[in-house]
């Protein structure tokens, strides 16, 4: 069995819109969870992980959440994001890459490195970096076989959670000390993170408005794009 699919499955416009809407919702909740975590990870660890299961949130939540809910929430969130980005990459990867190249002149070094890594050893990248948005997006873009991608994403996520839990338990006292210190300035951290997110969003919006329309922009999927390109 090859690790690449030569043809994309037929997908309805409704399904595409649902997945794109879910991707947008995950992005918004992830931003909120990442920004609120410094102030609330010790008070609402489960909620913060449900909003954003980035490595730093998973690591910081270890002292405040039992292993079972911590593992379930983290696993579901990471895998959900991975699957959604895989589908987005499969359906829109070529157009997204071409648009990015037009905007920047060339792809950023990190993007090029990850694309090369996934093309040469996609299975290893997914296994080692299951929480990477770029890895999952590129895995869909090169049409990695779903029967390869999904199990690797699940196994890689489990391994990542085991690693973070072990080290979180080892450094539990240090984590609590750091978060206790952050508590004194928690809302300054939150305000700064939201301000940074806003500035980054404004910069991306200006870049989009200055260039051609992006491949994922707009609510309508044209009739000739109801099925992904082969």
3-state secondary structure 127-175: HHCCCCHHHHHHHHHCCECHHHHHHHHHHHHHHHHHHHHHHHHHCHHHH
What does the block give as tokens for 65? 């959440």
Contact by Cβ (8 Å): 156, 126: yes
Dist. CA 230–CA 228, nearest whole Å: 6
Determine the angle formed by the axes of helices 146-170 and 109-128, rounding to 10 degrees: 90
What b/e readout covers 191-217, taking b as 16+ CB neighbours within 10 angstroms?
Answer: eebeeeeeeeeeeeeeeeeeeeebbee
Burial of 174 per CB tally in 10 Å (0-12, 13-18, 19+): exposed
- CA-nearest of 71, 22, 21, 30 to 51 is 30
pLDDT per position in the chain (230 positions), as tens? Answer: 334 433 445 678 888 889 989 988 998 999 898 888 888 888 899 999 999 998 889 988 998 899 999 999 999 999 999 999 899 888 887 765 565 555 545 556 667 777 788 888 888 989 998 988 888 888 988 889 999 999 999 999 999 999 999 987 877 666 666 555 555 545 445 555 556 655 655 565 565 555 545 444 443 443 333 333 32
């Amino acid at each position: 069995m090859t690790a690449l699919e030569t043809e994309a499955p037929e997908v309805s416009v409704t399904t595409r819109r649902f997945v794109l809407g879910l991707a947008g919702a995950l992005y918004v909740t992830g931003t909120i969870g990442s920004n609120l975590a410094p102030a609330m990870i010790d008070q609402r660890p489960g909620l913060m992980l449900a909003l954003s299961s980035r490595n730093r949130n998973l690591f910081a939540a270890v002292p405040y959440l039992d292993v079972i809910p911590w593992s379930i929430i983290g696993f579901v969130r990471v895998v959900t994001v991975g699957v959604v980005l895989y589908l987005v990459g499969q359906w829109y990867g070529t157009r997204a890459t071409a648009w990015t190249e037009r905007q920047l002149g060339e792809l950023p070094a990190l993007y090029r490195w990850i694309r090369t890594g996934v093309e040469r050893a996609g299975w290893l990248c997914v296994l080692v970096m299951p929480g990477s948005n770029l890895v999952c997006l590129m895995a869909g873009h090169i049409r990695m076989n779903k029967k390869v991608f999904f199990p690797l994403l699940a196994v890689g996520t489990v391994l990542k959670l085991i690693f973070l839990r072990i080290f979180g338990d080892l450094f539990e006292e240090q984590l609590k000390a750091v978060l206790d210190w952050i508590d004194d300035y928690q809302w300054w951290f939150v305000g700064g993170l939201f301000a940074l997110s806003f500035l980054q969003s404004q910069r991306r919006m200006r870049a989009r408005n200055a260039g051609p329309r992006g491949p994922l922009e707009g609510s309508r999927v044209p009739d000739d794009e109801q099925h992904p390109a082969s």
